[in-house]
């Protein structure tokens, strides 16, 4: 059996353990807790041992051209939250803007100049795209790269967010909140594969390889309104649902909550953000967090051209971004 086949077998077993309408674990999994697949199962990746691009290998000119064909009216819906001091933060993360006013140049035309000083953790605030080194399995990142080996004082020497590049592909919005008939899913609601399949049937939409798969939970309605509740927990993908999406070979996974996944995990209570490990470290799929999806959801727009460009922060763990849906 090949390493790739072994990896699929392990993931298949994991999903069987997590499956069920309520995402219940098998009793043995409860007793043992959850662990990500071992190095022998996850490495090398499907693109070979030297690969550092992961699912971005799917970003081809042909896929970009197919995405462009989805633009019919030229309308654009922005899917990024506004960066300011009143948005939700975790721990020591911050975003401070200090205006530098007004420098009046000495020439007779009185040209004034305004600038600002921004003090921020620019990779992990606001609507943000996670690069692979942001999360590890022990000391290893995507494709079993030793993270201490690629760490430096000024960032990572491999797989930094500056290496991601432009993402322009087909976007699919899976509206689980609409499926359940609510504006916002309940706190810590764990989305199951059955939820995703039912939502896609309801929308008459399907996932294709290389898509940007985006899940609407409604949690973004709390952004800047109830920050304490927003960061305390959130509904999102369970492990089984994330594995279901990852088997479709997406280019990225995104949501209108802060980790894309359900937090804390109901079915994996002893695991810390397991979907982060599965997406970034195991499958090499970028995560896009804290999206603004209320406009897309209210329009019932489930298929569109999707565009996002991370900032080229050399060696960065991620980047604040301003994604857009075009149709």
Residue 91 lies in a domain: no
Question: What gap in Å lies between CA 248 and CA 58, rounded to an integer?
Answer: 12
| pLDDT given at position 30 | 38
- 322: helix, coil or strand? coil
Residue 99 lies in a domain: no
| pLDDT given at position 103 | 87
Residue 252 lies in a domain: yes
Give the residues across from 288 on adjacent strands. 129, 254
Give the count of alpha carbons within 13 A of 152, CB side only. 11
Sign of the dihedral through C-alpha 71, 77, 79, 85: positive
Residue 101 lies in a domain: no
Residue pLDDT, tens place only, 178-230: 999 999 999 999 999 999 999 999 999 999 999 999 999 999 999 999 999 99
Q: To the nearest 5 percent, what fractions of the chain are helix, strand and coil?
A: 30, 25, 45
Residue 22 lies in a domain: yes
| pLDDT given at position 27 | 32
Residue 107 lies in a domain: no
- pTM, two decimals, is 0.88
Residue pLDDT, tens place only, 118-154: 999 989 999 999 999 999 999 999 999 999 999 999 9
Residue 90 lies in a domain: no
Q: What is the CATH classification number for the domain harbouring 269?
A: 3.50.30.50
The tally of domains found in the chain comes to 1
Question: What gap in Å lies between CA 185 and CA 228, rounded to an integer?
Answer: 17
Write down the residue that tokens 């489930």 correspond to: 302
Q: What are phi and psi of 86, to 5 degrees?
A: -100, 5
Nearest-CA neighbor of 243 among 7, 27, 2?
7
Query: What string of pLDDT tens digits covers the 327 residues of the chain?
Result: 444 444 444 434 433 333 333 333 333 333 357 899 999 999 999 999 999 999 999 999 999 999 999 999 999 999 999 999 999 998 899 999 999 988 899 999 999 999 999 999 989 999 999 999 999 999 999 999 999 999 999 999 999 999 999 999 999 999 999 999 999 999 999 999 999 999 999 999 999 999 999 999 999 999 999 999 999 999 999 999 999 999 999 999 999 999 999 999 988 888 999 999 999 999 999 999 999 999 999 999 999 999 999 999 999 999 999 999 999
The whole domain housing 173 covers: 3-85+122-326
Burial class, 188, CB count within 10 angstroms (exposed 0-12 / middle 13-18 / buried 19+): middle
């Amino acid at each position: 059996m090949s390493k790739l086949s072994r990896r699929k077998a392990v993931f298949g077993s994991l999903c069987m353990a997590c499956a069920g309408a309520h995402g219940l674990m098998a009793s043995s999994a409860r007793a043992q807790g959850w662990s990500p697949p071992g190095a022998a199962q996850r490495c090398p990746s499907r693109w070979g041992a030297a690969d550092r691009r992961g699912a971005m290998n799917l970003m081809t000119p042909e896929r970009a051209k197919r995405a462009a064909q989805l633009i019919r009216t030229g309308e654009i819906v922005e899917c990024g939250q506004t960066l300011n001091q009143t948005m939700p933060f975790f721990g020591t993360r911050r975003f401070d803007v200090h205006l530098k006013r007004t420098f009046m140049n000495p020439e007779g035309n009185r040209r004034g100049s305004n600038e600002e000083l921004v003090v921020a953790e620019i990779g992990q605030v606001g609507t943000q795209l996670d690069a692979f080194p942001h999360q590890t399995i022990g000391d290893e990142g995507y494709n079993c790269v030793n993270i201490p080996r690629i760490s430096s004082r000024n960032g990572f020497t491999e797989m930094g967010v500056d290496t991601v590049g432009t993402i322009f592909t087909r976007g699919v919005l899976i509206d689980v909140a609409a499926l359940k008939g609510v504006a916002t899913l309940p706190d810590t609601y764990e989305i199951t594969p059955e939820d995703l399949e039912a939502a896609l049937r309801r929308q008459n939409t399907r996932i294709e390889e290389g898509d940007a798969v985006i899940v609407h939970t409604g949690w973004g309605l709390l952004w800047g309104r109830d920050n304490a509740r927003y960061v305390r927990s959130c509904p999102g993908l369970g492990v089984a649902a994330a594995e279901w999406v990852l088997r479709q070979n997406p280019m990225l996974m995104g949501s209108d909550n802060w980790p894309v996944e359900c937090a804390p995990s109901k079915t994996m209570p002893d695991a810390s953000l397991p979907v982060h490990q599965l997406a970034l470290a195991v499958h090499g799929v970028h995560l896009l967090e804290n999206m603004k999806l209320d406009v897309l959801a209210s329009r019932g727009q489930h298929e569109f051209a999707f565009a996002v460009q991370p900032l080229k922060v050399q060696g960065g763990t991620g980047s604040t971004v301003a994604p857009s849906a075009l149709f």
